[in-house]
Structure 1
Protein backbone atom coordinates (compact mmCIF):
# COMPACT_ATOMS: atom_id res chain seq x y z
CA UNK A 1 0.00 0.00 0.00
CA UNK A 2 1.16 3.53 -0.75
CA UNK A 3 0.31 6.35 1.66
CA UNK A 4 0.34 10.06 0.81
CA UNK A 5 2.62 12.04 3.17
CA UNK A 6 2.31 15.73 4.08
CA UNK A 7 4.53 17.54 6.59
CA UNK A 8 3.54 21.02 7.80
CA UNK A 9 5.80 23.31 9.84
CA UNK A 10 3.75 24.93 12.64
CA UNK A 11 4.49 27.60 15.25
CA UNK A 12 2.26 26.33 18.09
CA UNK A 13 2.32 22.54 18.32
CA UNK A 14 -0.32 22.14 21.03
CA UNK A 15 -2.82 24.39 19.27
CA UNK A 16 -2.28 22.51 16.00
CA UNK A 17 -2.55 19.10 17.67
CA UNK A 18 -5.94 20.16 19.05
CA UNK A 19 -7.03 21.52 15.65
CA UNK A 20 -5.96 18.49 13.59
CA UNK A 21 -7.17 15.97 16.19
CA UNK A 22 -10.62 17.56 15.96
CA UNK A 23 -10.47 17.73 12.17
CA UNK A 24 -9.35 14.10 11.78
CA UNK A 25 -11.51 12.93 14.72
CA UNK A 26 -8.56 11.06 16.22
CA UNK A 27 -5.49 11.72 18.32
CA UNK A 28 -1.98 11.57 16.82
CA UNK A 29 -0.36 8.15 16.43
CA UNK A 30 2.87 9.71 17.76
CA UNK A 31 3.46 12.85 19.80
CA UNK A 32 6.82 14.33 20.84
CA UNK A 33 7.78 17.73 22.27
CA UNK A 34 8.29 19.12 18.75
CA UNK A 35 6.35 16.72 16.54
CA UNK A 36 3.04 14.93 16.00
CA UNK A 37 1.92 12.45 13.36
CA UNK A 38 -1.47 11.02 12.37
CA UNK A 39 -1.57 7.79 10.36
CA UNK A 40 -4.95 8.27 8.74
CA UNK A 41 -6.77 5.40 7.08
CA UNK A 42 -9.64 7.42 5.66
CA UNK A 43 -8.15 8.91 3.58
CA UNK A 44 -4.85 7.01 3.88
CA UNK A 45 -2.44 9.82 4.77
CA UNK A 46 0.68 10.12 6.92
CA UNK A 47 0.13 13.71 8.12
CA UNK A 48 2.90 15.18 10.30
CA UNK A 49 3.52 18.57 11.90
CA UNK A 50 6.59 19.88 13.70
CA UNK A 51 8.14 23.04 15.05
CA UNK A 52 11.31 22.36 13.04
CA UNK A 53 11.96 24.40 9.91
CA UNK A 54 12.26 28.01 8.84
CA UNK A 55 8.73 29.17 8.18
CA UNK A 56 5.23 27.82 8.86
CA UNK A 57 3.52 26.11 5.96
CA UNK A 58 3.81 22.98 3.85
CA UNK A 59 7.34 21.64 4.28
CA UNK A 60 7.26 18.88 1.66
CA UNK A 61 5.03 16.21 0.15
CA UNK A 62 5.73 12.53 -0.10
CA UNK A 63 4.70 8.97 -0.78
CA UNK A 64 5.27 6.39 1.97
CA UNK A 65 5.26 2.72 1.01
CA UNK A 66 4.90 -0.41 3.12
CA UNK A 67 7.38 -2.60 1.24
CA UNK A 68 10.94 -2.12 -0.08
CA UNK A 69 9.76 -3.48 -3.45
CA UNK A 70 7.21 -0.66 -3.73
CA UNK A 71 9.95 1.92 -3.12
CA UNK A 72 12.13 0.26 -5.75
CA UNK A 73 9.24 0.41 -8.24
CA UNK A 74 8.64 4.13 -7.54
CA UNK A 75 12.36 4.82 -7.93
CA UNK A 76 12.49 2.88 -11.21
CA UNK A 77 9.54 4.89 -12.51
CA UNK A 78 11.21 8.19 -11.56
CA UNK A 79 14.44 7.04 -13.22
CA UNK A 80 12.58 6.07 -16.43
CA UNK A 81 10.99 9.54 -16.42
CA UNK A 82 14.51 11.03 -16.22
CA UNK A 83 13.77 12.79 -12.92
CA UNK A 84 16.77 14.03 -10.96
CA UNK A 85 16.93 11.83 -7.86
CA UNK A 86 18.60 12.54 -4.57
CA UNK A 87 19.04 9.08 -3.04
CA UNK A 88 19.68 9.18 0.71
CA UNK A 89 19.50 5.42 1.21
CA UNK A 90 18.95 4.56 4.87
CA UNK A 91 18.69 7.70 7.02
CA UNK A 92 16.97 8.92 10.18
CA UNK A 93 14.51 11.74 10.79
CA UNK A 94 11.11 12.39 12.31
CA UNK A 95 11.62 9.70 14.96
CA UNK A 96 12.08 7.03 12.27
CA UNK A 97 14.72 5.17 10.27
CA UNK A 98 13.81 5.01 6.60
CA UNK A 99 15.10 4.26 3.12
CA UNK A 100 14.33 7.31 1.01
CA UNK A 101 15.03 9.44 -1.99
CA UNK A 102 13.83 12.85 -3.14
CA UNK A 103 12.62 14.35 -6.40
CA UNK A 104 11.64 17.97 -7.01
CA UNK A 105 8.72 19.01 -9.17
CA UNK A 106 8.98 21.79 -11.81
CA UNK A 107 7.71 24.36 -9.29
CA UNK A 108 10.46 23.43 -6.82
CA UNK A 109 8.28 21.39 -4.43
CA UNK A 110 10.27 18.60 -2.78
CA UNK A 111 8.76 15.11 -2.85
CA UNK A 112 10.06 12.49 -0.43
CA UNK A 113 9.49 8.85 -1.36
CA UNK A 114 10.27 6.48 1.49
CA UNK A 115 9.90 3.15 3.25
CA UNK A 116 9.93 3.36 7.06
CA UNK A 117 12.09 0.64 8.59
CA UNK A 118 11.86 1.36 12.32
CA UNK A 119 10.87 3.85 14.98
CA UNK A 120 13.69 5.63 16.86
CA UNK A 121 13.57 7.59 20.14
CA UNK A 122 15.06 10.84 18.76
CA UNK A 123 14.10 13.18 15.92
CA UNK A 124 17.35 12.45 14.08
CA UNK A 125 20.23 10.27 15.20
CA UNK A 126 22.81 12.53 13.55
CA UNK A 127 21.49 15.66 15.29
CA UNK A 128 21.22 13.86 18.63
CA UNK A 129 24.95 13.13 18.67
CA UNK A 130 26.12 16.63 17.73
CA UNK A 131 26.60 19.74 19.83
CA UNK A 132 24.10 21.73 17.78
CA UNK A 133 21.83 24.07 19.70
CA UNK A 134 19.44 24.94 16.89
CA UNK A 135 17.21 22.10 15.67
CA UNK A 136 17.73 21.15 12.04
CA UNK A 137 14.88 21.46 9.58
CA UNK A 138 12.98 18.27 8.92
CA UNK A 139 13.57 16.55 5.65
CA UNK A 140 16.10 19.05 4.35
CA UNK A 141 17.49 17.99 1.01
CA UNK A 142 21.25 18.22 0.54
CA UNK A 143 22.26 20.81 -2.05
CA UNK A 144 22.87 19.52 -5.52
CA UNK A 145 24.49 20.87 -8.66
CA UNK A 146 21.86 19.22 -10.86
CA UNK A 147 19.82 21.95 -12.51
CA UNK A 148 16.72 19.73 -12.64
CA UNK A 149 16.87 19.27 -8.84
CA UNK A 150 15.43 22.70 -8.06
CA UNK A 151 16.06 23.77 -4.49
CA UNK A 152 12.87 24.49 -2.69
CA UNK A 153 12.92 27.66 -0.64
CA UNK A 154 11.37 26.69 2.71
CA UNK A 155 13.97 24.15 3.79
CA UNK A 156 17.69 24.96 4.18
CA UNK A 157 20.08 22.39 2.77
CA UNK A 158 22.97 20.81 4.64
CA UNK A 159 26.42 20.91 3.03
CA UNK A 160 26.99 18.85 -0.14
CA UNK A 161 27.00 15.16 0.73
CA UNK A 162 25.49 15.64 4.19
CA UNK A 163 22.67 13.33 5.30
CA UNK A 164 19.20 14.83 5.71
CA UNK A 165 16.14 13.54 7.50
CA UNK A 166 12.45 12.61 7.66
Structure 2
Protein backbone atom coordinates (compact mmCIF):
# COMPACT_ATOMS: atom_id res chain seq x y z
CA UNK A 1 0.00 0.00 0.00
CA UNK A 2 1.22 3.49 -0.78
CA UNK A 3 0.95 6.50 1.50
CA UNK A 4 1.40 10.10 0.37
CA UNK A 5 4.24 11.88 2.19
CA UNK A 6 4.40 15.64 2.73
CA UNK A 7 7.30 17.31 4.56
CA UNK A 8 6.98 20.96 5.55
CA UNK A 9 9.65 23.26 6.90
CA UNK A 10 8.37 25.20 9.93
CA UNK A 11 9.67 28.10 12.00
CA UNK A 12 8.57 26.84 15.44
CA UNK A 13 8.10 23.13 16.10
CA UNK A 14 5.94 23.54 19.25
CA UNK A 15 3.50 26.00 17.64
CA UNK A 16 3.29 23.82 14.55
CA UNK A 17 2.73 20.60 16.52
CA UNK A 18 -0.16 22.28 18.38
CA UNK A 19 -1.67 23.53 15.12
CA UNK A 20 -1.40 20.28 13.15
CA UNK A 21 -2.50 18.14 16.11
CA UNK A 22 -5.67 20.24 16.27
CA UNK A 23 -6.12 20.14 12.48
CA UNK A 24 -5.71 16.35 12.28
CA UNK A 25 -7.38 15.56 15.62
CA UNK A 26 -4.37 13.43 16.55
CA UNK A 27 -0.99 13.75 18.25
CA UNK A 28 2.17 13.02 16.25
CA UNK A 29 3.45 9.43 16.30
CA UNK A 30 7.00 10.79 16.46
CA UNK A 31 7.94 14.06 18.17
CA UNK A 32 11.51 15.34 18.54
CA UNK A 33 12.82 18.85 19.38
CA UNK A 34 13.23 19.56 15.64
CA UNK A 35 10.80 17.14 13.97
CA UNK A 36 7.30 15.69 14.21
CA UNK A 37 5.40 13.14 12.13
CA UNK A 38 1.77 12.06 11.86
CA UNK A 39 0.84 8.76 10.19
CA UNK A 40 -2.77 9.41 9.31
CA UNK A 41 -5.30 6.97 7.90
CA UNK A 42 -7.88 9.59 6.98
CA UNK A 43 -6.44 11.09 4.85
CA UNK A 44 -3.88 8.34 4.19
CA UNK A 45 -0.75 10.47 4.56
CA UNK A 46 2.63 10.61 6.29
CA UNK A 47 2.78 14.29 7.24
CA UNK A 48 6.06 15.55 8.68
CA UNK A 49 7.31 18.93 9.86
CA UNK A 50 10.84 20.01 10.71
CA UNK A 51 12.80 23.08 11.71
CA UNK A 52 15.71 21.59 9.72
CA UNK A 53 14.15 21.84 6.24
CA UNK A 54 15.87 24.01 3.67
CA UNK A 55 12.94 26.45 3.61
CA UNK A 56 9.65 27.28 5.28
CA UNK A 57 6.71 25.65 3.50
CA UNK A 58 6.72 22.59 1.28
CA UNK A 59 10.19 21.05 1.48
CA UNK A 60 9.43 17.91 -0.50
CA UNK A 61 6.68 15.42 -1.30
CA UNK A 62 6.87 11.66 -1.50
CA UNK A 63 5.35 8.24 -1.75
CA UNK A 64 6.02 5.88 1.15
CA UNK A 65 5.65 2.18 0.36
CA UNK A 66 5.42 -0.89 2.58
CA UNK A 67 7.83 -3.16 0.69
CA UNK A 68 11.03 -3.11 -1.34
CA UNK A 69 9.07 -4.59 -4.26
CA UNK A 70 6.73 -1.58 -4.29
CA UNK A 71 9.75 0.75 -4.25
CA UNK A 72 11.30 -1.11 -7.17
CA UNK A 73 8.00 -0.85 -9.08
CA UNK A 74 8.05 2.95 -8.69
CA UNK A 75 11.68 3.05 -9.81
CA UNK A 76 10.75 0.98 -12.87
CA UNK A 77 7.82 3.31 -13.69
CA UNK A 78 10.16 6.32 -13.63
CA UNK A 79 12.81 4.55 -15.71
CA UNK A 80 10.22 3.43 -18.27
CA UNK A 81 9.12 7.08 -18.58
CA UNK A 82 12.76 8.20 -19.12
CA UNK A 83 12.71 10.18 -15.86
CA UNK A 84 16.09 10.28 -14.19
CA UNK A 85 16.18 9.30 -10.52
CA UNK A 86 18.78 9.65 -7.80
CA UNK A 87 18.99 6.71 -5.40
CA UNK A 88 20.30 7.14 -1.87
CA UNK A 89 20.17 3.41 -1.25
CA UNK A 90 19.80 2.70 2.46
CA UNK A 91 20.11 5.89 4.49
CA UNK A 92 19.21 7.42 7.83
CA UNK A 93 17.05 10.52 7.57
CA UNK A 94 14.22 12.05 9.59
CA UNK A 95 14.81 9.66 12.50
CA UNK A 96 14.29 6.59 10.28
CA UNK A 97 16.37 4.07 8.33
CA UNK A 98 15.00 3.89 4.80
CA UNK A 99 15.86 3.08 1.21
CA UNK A 100 15.13 6.10 -1.00
CA UNK A 101 15.02 7.32 -4.56
CA UNK A 102 14.45 10.93 -5.61
CA UNK A 103 13.08 12.72 -8.66
CA UNK A 104 12.39 16.36 -9.40
CA UNK A 105 9.11 17.32 -11.05
CA UNK A 106 9.04 19.82 -13.96
CA UNK A 107 8.47 22.65 -11.45
CA UNK A 108 11.51 21.81 -9.32
CA UNK A 109 9.62 20.09 -6.49
CA UNK A 110 11.55 17.21 -4.96
CA UNK A 111 9.70 13.88 -4.68
CA UNK A 112 11.02 10.85 -2.84
CA UNK A 113 9.90 7.26 -3.11
CA UNK A 114 10.96 5.28 -0.07
CA UNK A 115 10.61 2.20 2.07
CA UNK A 116 11.25 2.64 5.80
CA UNK A 117 12.82 -0.32 7.58
CA UNK A 118 13.07 0.97 11.17
CA UNK A 119 13.24 3.99 13.46
CA UNK A 120 16.56 5.71 14.16
CA UNK A 121 17.74 7.78 17.12
CA UNK A 122 19.45 10.43 14.97
CA UNK A 123 17.96 12.82 12.41
CA UNK A 124 20.45 12.06 9.66
CA UNK A 125 23.48 9.84 9.15
CA UNK A 126 25.21 12.82 7.53
CA UNK A 127 24.52 15.16 10.45
CA UNK A 128 24.13 13.94 14.02
CA UNK A 129 23.82 17.40 15.59
CA UNK A 130 20.45 18.47 16.95
CA UNK A 131 19.84 21.64 14.95
CA UNK A 132 22.09 22.16 11.95
CA UNK A 133 21.45 20.77 8.51
CA UNK A 134 18.38 20.34 6.40
CA UNK A 135 16.57 17.13 5.62
CA UNK A 136 17.93 14.57 3.25
CA UNK A 137 16.81 16.08 -0.06
CA UNK A 138 19.68 15.85 -2.57
CA UNK A 139 20.46 19.18 -4.20
CA UNK A 140 21.28 20.13 -7.79
CA UNK A 141 22.16 23.29 -9.68
CA UNK A 142 18.46 24.28 -9.55
CA UNK A 143 18.71 24.30 -5.76
CA UNK A 144 16.43 21.32 -5.34
CA UNK A 145 16.97 17.60 -5.60
CA UNK A 146 17.97 14.90 -7.92
CA UNK A 147 20.60 15.60 -10.53
TM-score norm. by structure 1 comes to 0.83
Q: Is 1:120 equivalent to 2:130 in the alignment?
A: no
3-state SS of the aligned residue for 2:127? helix
Count, aligned residues: 147
3-state SS of the aligned residue for 1:101? strand
- How far off its partner does 1:141 sit? 0.6
In structure 1, the residue matched to 2:8 is 8
In structure 1, the residue matched to 2:101 is 101
Tell me how far apart the structure 2 counterparts of residues 64 and 58 of structure 1 sit (CA, whole Å). Answer: 17
Runs of 4+ aligned residues of structure 1 deviating over 3 Å after TM superposition are none
In structure 2, the residue matched to 1:135 is 132
The CA deviation string for residues 93-125 of structure 1, in whole angstroms up to 9 with x for no partner, is 000010000011111111010000110111012
- How far off its partner does 1:136 sit? 1.2
- How far off its partner does 1:142 sit? 4.2
Tell me how large the CA RMSD over aligned residues is. 2.0
Tell me how far apart the structure 1 counterparts of residues 58 and 33 of structure 2 sit (CA, whole Å). Answer: 20
In structure 1, the residue matched to 2:21 is 21
Tell me how far apart the structure 2 counterparts of residues 125 and 102 of structure 1 sit (CA, whole Å). Answer: 17
Tell me how far apart the structure 2 counterparts of residues 46 and 133 of structure 1 sit (CA, whole Å). Answer: 22
Structure 1 unaligned spans of 5+: 145-149, 161-166
In structure 2, the residue matched to 1:73 is 73
3-state SS of the aligned residue for 2:111? strand
Distance 1:54-1:125 versus aligned 2 partners, 3 A rule: closer
The CA deviation string for residues 107-165 of structure 1, in whole angstroms up to 9 with x for no partner, is 1111010000110111012312xxx7861111221437xxxxx542xx7x9xx9xxxxx
